[in-house]
Amino acid sequence: MKKLKQTLLLASALILAAALTGCGREDGKQKGTLNTATSGDAAGESDGSGDMSIDEYIETYASDVTLGKYKGIEYEYSVAEVTDEQVQEEVQKFVSSCASYEEDHESKAKIGDTVNIDFVGSVDGVEFEGGNTNGSGYDVTLGSHGLIDDFEDQIVGHVPGETFDVKVTFPEDYGQDNLNGREAVFETTLNYIQIEIEAEYNDELVAANTSYSNVADYEKSIYDSIAETNEAKALASAQNFVMTSVMNNATIDSIPEDEVLALTNQIISAIKTEAEGYNLDYETYVYYYYAFDDPDAFYDYVVSVCEETVKEKKIVCAVAKTENITVTAEEVEAYVAKLAEDNGVTEDAIREYYEGEDLMYYALAEKVMNFLMENGVVTDAEE
């Protein structure tokens, strides 16, 4: 499942934790069950299933929190304008994606050409897994450094139909023990050189490749999409500033370290599972995807993010308790429906994706965030 967009401000740890779906709980209860027992208008009292009611949840996380200033926070809300250049940039990407190609079987390959090749890789005369295109062809633009070492340079000057050896050395940190730092030979065949035929941008091209019938409607859709993105960025920036200010103004006497540790370990476990899915060891995956060359430093970073996540949860609940903000079961269901709609998935998928208590908290956090924004003060953006 794709990562879900959030409709409220959430710490990045919860985004990472979203990868932890589909697992059962230790008590045998499946994730995604909502406690919808009612207590007045609130989301309910505990039904004995292990999930807390909203009142219990707020009371638990609001403990040990002394709020400072949380109303009247000044913040900027400035939405960037959409420029013609931005629209035309997206148009050009679309036109490029519609380009067609002819095969050149006569010219010599040169830097800048996109070529189609097949290869069989071996180390010490023994083929290795993943080093054979099996005749399916592989496109690469010469000079893009998309292949290891100087592989692409050794294709330059060859003519389609030729088969030749490409000798390279794998990086020491390639990520596969049998290949790290090893010299390899790739028996390579240059199949053809791609000659791009640029598409003509007109109503016919738009109608054939989009849901729009003409250029004007298509460009308006691009404009609207960029405008929506800019608005979302402006809101997220303002929300982040307000929440950070409220957190900085508050005092939290204690953080539930067991919860921080559990969330940290869940995230690390999920990342290790992702690494296995890419046939990479954990250290290499963390380096390439998170830019950390020290797994211990990355672990400390995840811990710090999880601590901020739990702090934010405590602040949200403290504001909710002080201002008597709560959520009903119906509001939680409405939140689930909106989240599903925004991400193009079913409500059942959302319930499988998140635990019931999490959904209850997210709905509450959205109301609290809205309260903070409504009770804040919008200022003019500085030049």
Q: Is residue 136 part of a domain?
A: yes
How does the average pLDDT of the chain come out, rounded? Answer: 85
Q: Is residue 84 part of a domain?
A: no
- Both tokens of residue 129? 């897994």
What type of residue is 299? Y
Claim to verify: residue 258 and residue 375 sit in the same structural domain: yes
Residue linked to tokens 């148009």: 91
- Both tokens of residue 105? 């079987």
Q: Is residue 264 part of a domain?
A: yes
Contact 213, 204 (CB under 8 A): no
Claim to verify: residue 117 and residue 169 sit in the same structural domain: yes
Q: Is residue 166 part of a domain?
A: yes
Claim to verify: residue 150 and residue 259 sit in the same structural domain: no
User: Where are any strands of DSSP class E within 78-159?
Assistant: 100-104, 114-123, 126-132, 138-141
How many CA atoms lie less than 13 Å away from 42 in the CB half-sphere?
A: 18
Query: Structurally, how many domains does the chain consist of?
Result: 2
DSSP letter assigned to residue 383: -
Claim to verify: residue 63 and residue 168 sit in the same structural domain: no
Residue linked to tokens 């060891």: 281
Claim to verify: residue 375 and residue 261 sit in the same structural domain: yes
Q: Please tell me the chain's helix, strand, coil percentages from 3-state DSSP, rounded to the nearest 5.
A: 45, 15, 40
Contact 32, 52 (CB under 8 A): no
Q: pTM score > 0.85 for this model? A: no
Q: Is residue 320 part of a domain?
A: yes
In tens digits, the chain (383 residues) has pLDDT values of 233 334 333 333 344 343 333 233 333 332 322 232 233 344 544 443 447 899 999 999 999 999 999 999 999 999 999 999 999 999 999 999 999 889 999 999 999 999 999 999 999 888 888 889 989 999 999 999 888 888 999 999 999 999 999 999 988 877 777 888 889 999 999 999 999 898 999 999 999 999 999 999 999 999 999 999 999 999 999 999 999 999 999 999 999 999 999 999 999 999 999 988 888 889 888 988 888 989 999 999 999 999 999 999 999 999 999 999 999 999 999 999 998 998 889 999 988 888 889 999 999 999 999 999 999 999 876 54
Q: Nearest 5°: phi and psi at 313?
A: -65, -40
Claim to verify: residue 186 and residue 293 sit in the same structural domain: no
Q: Is residue 216 part of a domain?
A: no
Claim to verify: residue 66 and residue 176 sit in the same structural domain: no
Claim to verify: residue 121 and residue 187 sit in the same structural domain: yes
Domain end (from 176, 197, 218): 197
Claim to verify: residue 106 and residue 36 sit in the same structural domain: no
Which H or E run includes 115? strand 114-123
- Both tokens of residue 259? 């919860």
Q: Is residue 339 part of a domain?
A: yes
Which class for 96: exposed (0-12), middle (13-18), buried (19 or more C-beta within 10 A)? exposed
CATH number of the domain enclosing 366? 1.10.3120
Claim to verify: residue 262 and residue 190 sit in the same structural domain: no
CA dihedral 39, 41, 42, 45 (to 10 degrees): 10
Domain end (from 197, 228, 262): 197
Q: 99: helix, coil or strand?
A: coil
Residue linked to tokens 């180390």: 123
Question: Given this model, what pLDDT does residue 381 score?
Answer: 61
Across-strand partners of 120? 132, 187
- Residue closest to 205 by CA, chosen among 103, 92, 114: 92
Q: Is residue 168 part of a domain?
A: yes
Claim to verify: residue 42 and residue 108 sit in the same structural domain: no
Domain end (from 197, 217, 234): 197
Which residues constitute the domain of residue 116? 100-197
Beta-carbon contacts of 123 under 8 Å, excluding residues fewer than 6 positions away, are 178, 179, 182, 183, 184, 185
- Both tokens of residue 110? 């040169």
CATH number of the domain enclosing 116? 3.10.50.40
Question: Given this model, what pLDDT does residue 72 score?
Answer: 96
Residue 344 region by backbone torsions, left for phi larger than 0, else alpha for psi between -120 and 50, else beta: left
Claim to verify: residue 276 and residue 375 sit in the same structural domain: yes
Q: Nearest 5°: phi and psi at 302?
A: -60, -40
